[in-house]
């Protein structure tokens, strides 16, 4: 009959706090076991009742069910055994339940299909005494695979006491999760596992990260430095990269950990190892770490070499606005006119450092790059010159610097937009003023036929329109869709401006 029962009402036991999905109430233990069992819901299978009672720590009911010959290794719909649920519940009240199940020869290694067992749960959460009891009560010696899984669970939680119990019980150390212990900054456990011949170069995780790469990016830096030195002493490969091309040196550089960079370089880490796609110097420049960059340059890292993503040190440093770092790179003869992508997600052909610095609004850096003979006409990824970028940002100070460096006032982007048109559309009087002083062409038009006056009119900037008219902009010129500036303003909903332009 039990095989025909509908288990669906018990499928989400423990998964919800709603009234509808709470597990059925298990009666409090009575003096007589038969009385206890008679109070169980008629549609609740006895094996499931055992799991529920174990989870709730009702050891008298657990004993009664076991005496009625319910299988000790019964599992719930999620595959969790009664012993697993008892161990998970923890607390003092779980001990009698666990003892009863172990006496009935419950298997501590029984897996729920998701890699979880009573053994792994005890390894993760402890205490060590519970794990010892499970190991001692196991009918069969746990397999190396079961012990490895339990050791990995202990490592993930950083439970050193249970890990030592497992290793003493014969858990294989060769593939132990050194990576996890490194993440916990547990140098003692790393040393202990290494003495048991753990593989210090084992790649773990989806990206194949090694222990030394994990250590190189740890925080605080002092812990990272100590672990990196230990792993180097254990002959870890300092040039092994992840599946994404990240080496320990690149990881440390990205973290801006100069002390770790120094330690890795002393251990013969390459500034650009074969097969790596991430340049340590680019990583340091992206992080804005002057100290790390200085160490890498001293180790003969090239200040001009791009990584696999097309990023160059100077371009990445310019994006951060780090003046000292840019000066360092320029001082080692980095070419300010080489194009570079910048950041983690940049796409396209990239831009020179000057366009990147202007886009980020870093005035001091713009001055530094111009002094280093950066080309003021070298366009951005979208084809805009640094002057156009500055005008679009309404930055007169940057426009002044660029014009003083002989930037062309009448250059256009691929859509035919000029710096004056961009400034007029933004309503920036100071930028319009300086561009007019530089003889920007009032009649210059975009591919769509718009001029600076059209741009100001469309955006309702009356003061800019008056300035352009004072500079002799032509009101009669027909712009986009055959409209005059007055008609453009009217169409955009700026009636008063349209009236002014008609006078």
Least confident of 13-22, 129-138, 205-214, 453-462: 13-22
* CA atoms of 207 and 143, how far apart (whole Å): 28
pLDDT over 70 percentage in the chain? 92
Whether residue 480 is contained in a domain is answered as yes
- Residue bearing the bigger pLDDT, 178 or 282: 282
Residue 150 has pLDDT above 70, yes or no: yes
Q: Cα-Cα-Cα-Cα dihedral of 479, 480, 485, 490, to 10°?
A: 160
> Which H or E run contains 467?
helix 462-470
Query: What pLDDT does 165 receive?
Result: 95
- Residue bearing the bigger pLDDT, 22 or 124: 124
Neighbour tally for 337: CB within 10 Å: 14
Phi and psi at 489, nearest 5°, equal: -65, -45
Total number of domains in the chain: 2
- Residue bearing the bigger pLDDT, 210 or 11: 210
> Which H or E run contains 456?
helix 452-458
- The tokens for 251 are 């990881």
- The CATH number that applies at residue 101 is 1.25.40
pLDDT over 90 percentage in the chain? 80
Mean pLDDT, residues 366-388 taken together? 97
Residue 201 has pLDDT above 60, yes or no: yes
Q: Give the contacts of 25 (CB within 8 A, at least 6 positions apart).
A: none
- The CATH number that applies at residue 446 is 1.25.40.20
Mean pLDDT, residues 366-394 taken together? 97
Mean pLDDT, residues 58-79 taken together? 94
Neighbour tally for 4: CB within 10 Å: 5
pLDDT band at 461 (very low <50, low <70, confident <90, very high): very high
Mean pLDDT, residues 249-268 taken together? 97
Whether residue 472 is contained in a domain is answered as yes
Whether residue 255 is contained in a domain is answered as no
Closest-CA residue to 322 (of 286, 358, 280, 298): 286
pLDDT band at 254 (very low <50, low <70, confident <90, very high): very high
Residue 340: helix, strand or coil by DSSP? strand
Whether residue 7 is contained in a domain is answered as yes
pLDDT band at 91 (very low <50, low <70, confident <90, very high): low
- Residue bearing the bigger pLDDT, 9 or 282: 282
Residue 318 has pLDDT above 90, yes or no: yes
Mean pLDDT, residues 230-251 taken together? 95
- The tokens for 147 are 């012990």
Closest-CA residue to 297 (of 340, 320, 329): 329
pLDDT band at 32 (very low <50, low <70, confident <90, very high): low
Whether residue 281 is contained in a domain is answered as no
Range of the domain at 427: 404-503
Whether residue 355 is contained in a domain is answered as no
Give the Å distances, CA to CA, from 68 to 37, 266, 407. Answer: 9, 68, 93
Q: Report the mean per-residue pLDDT for the chain.
A: 90
Query: What pLDDT does 63 receive?
Result: 93
Which domain-ending residue is among 83, 106, 129? 106
Whether residue 432 is contained in a domain is answered as yes
Query: What pLDDT does 503 receive?
Result: 78
Residue 162 has pLDDT above 60, yes or no: yes
Question: Which stretches of 376-484 are DSSP H helices?
Answer: 386-392, 396-404, 419-426, 429-437, 452-458, 462-470
Query: What pLDDT does 445 receive?
Result: 95
pLDDT band at 346 (very low <50, low <70, confident <90, very high): low
Closest-CA residue to 415 (of 440, 386, 450): 450
- The tokens for 216 are 């190189």
Residue 154 has pLDDT above 50, yes or no: yes
Mean pLDDT, residues 387-393 taken together? 98
Residue 309 has pLDDT above 70, yes or no: yes
Residue 271 has pLDDT above 70, yes or no: yes
Which domain-ending residue is among 106, 138, 159? 106
Question: Do residues 364 and 327 touch, judged by C-beta distance below 8 A?
Answer: no
Query: What pLDDT does 1 receive?
Result: 31
Query: What pLDDT does 431 receive?
Result: 98
Whether residue 267 is contained in a domain is answered as no
DSSP 273-288: -TT--S-HHHHHHHHT
- The tokens for 264 are 């890795």
Residue 253 has pLDDT above 80, yes or no: yes
pLDDT band at 38 (very low <50, low <70, confident <90, very high): confident
Which domain-ending residue is among 106, 138, 156? 106
Closest-CA residue to 174 (of 211, 201, 142): 201
Mean pLDDT, residues 68-84 taken together? 95
pLDDT band at 221 (very low <50, low <70, confident <90, very high): very high
Question: Do residues 82 and 121 touch, judged by C-beta distance below 8 A?
Answer: no
pLDDT band at 4 (very low <50, low <70, confident <90, very high): very low
Residue 106 has pLDDT above 80, yes or no: yes
- The tokens for 291 are 């100290």
pLDDT tens digits, one per residue of 418-437: 999 999 999 999 999 999 99
Least confident of 88-92, 110-114, 315-319, 390-394: 88-92
Q: Both ends of the chain: CA-CA distance in Å?
A: 96
Q: Return the bridge partners of 246, or none.
A: none
The 8 Å CB, 24+ separation contacts for 64-67 are: 64/29, 64/33, 64/34, 64/36, 64/37, 65/37, 66/100, 66/101, 66/104, 67/33
């Amino acid at each position: 009959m039990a095989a025909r029962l509908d288990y669906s009402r018990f499928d989400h036991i423990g998964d919800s706090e709603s009234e509808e999905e709470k597990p059925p109430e298990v009666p409090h233990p009575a003096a007589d076991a038969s009385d206890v069992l008679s109070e169980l819901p008629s549609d609740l299978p006895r094996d499931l009742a055992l799991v529920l009672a174990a989870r709730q720590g009702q050891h008298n009911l657990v004993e009664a069910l076991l005496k009625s010959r319910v299988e000790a290794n019964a599992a719930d719909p999620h595959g969790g055994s009664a012993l697993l649920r008892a161990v998970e519940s923890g607390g003092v009240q779980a001990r009698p339940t666990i003892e009863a199940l172990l006496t009935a020869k419950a298997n501590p290694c029984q897996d729920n299909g998701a890699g979880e067992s009573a053994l792994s749960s005890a390894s993760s959460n402890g205490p060590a005494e519970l794990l010892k009891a499970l190991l001692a009560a196991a009918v069969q010696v746990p397999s190396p695979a079961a012990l490895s899984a339990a050791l990995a669970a202990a490592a993930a939680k950083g439970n050193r006491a249970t890990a030592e119990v497992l290793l003493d019980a014969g858990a294989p150390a060769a593939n132990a999760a050194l990576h996890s212990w490194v993440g916990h900054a547990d140098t003692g456990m790393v040393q202990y596992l290494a003495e048991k011949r753990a593989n210090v170069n084992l790649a773990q995780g989806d990206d194949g990260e090694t222990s030394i790469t994990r250590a190189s990016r740890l925080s605080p830096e002092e812990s990272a430095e100590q672990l990196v030195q230990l792993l180097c002493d254990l002959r870890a490969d300092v040039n092994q990269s992840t599946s994404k091309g990240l080496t320990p040196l690149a990881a440390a550089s990205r973290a801006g950990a100069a002390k770790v960079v120094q330690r890795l370089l002393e251990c013969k880490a390459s500034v650009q190892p074969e097969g790596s796609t991430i340049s340590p110097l680019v990583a340091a420049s992206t992080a804005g770490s002057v100290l790390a960059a200085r160490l890498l340059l001293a180790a003969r890292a090239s200040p001009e070499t791009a990584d696999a993503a097309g990023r160059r040190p100077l371009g990445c440093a310019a994006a951060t606005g780090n003046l000292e770092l840019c000066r360092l790179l320029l001082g080692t003869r980095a070419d300010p006119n080489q194009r570079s992508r910048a950041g983690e997600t940049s796409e396209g052909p990239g831009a020179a450092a000057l366009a990147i610095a202007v886009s980020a609004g870093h005035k001091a850096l713009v001055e530094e790059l111009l002094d280093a003979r950066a080309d003021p006409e070298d366009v951005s990824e979208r084809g805009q010159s640094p002057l156009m970028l500055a005008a679009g940002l309404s930055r007169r100070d940057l426009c002044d610097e660029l014009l003083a460096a002989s930037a062309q006032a009448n250059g256009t982007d691929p859509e035919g937009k000029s710096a004056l048109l961009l400034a007029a559309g933004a309503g920036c009087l100071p930028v319009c003023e300086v561009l007019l002083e530089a003889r920007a062409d009032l009649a210059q038009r975009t591919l769509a036929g718009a001029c600076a006056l059209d741009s100001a009119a469309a955006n309702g900037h009356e003061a800019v329109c008056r300035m352009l008219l004072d500079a002799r902009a032509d009101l009669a010129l027909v712009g986009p869709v055959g409209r005059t500036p007055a008609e453009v303003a009217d169409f955009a909903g700026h009636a008063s401006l349209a009236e002014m332009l008609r006078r």
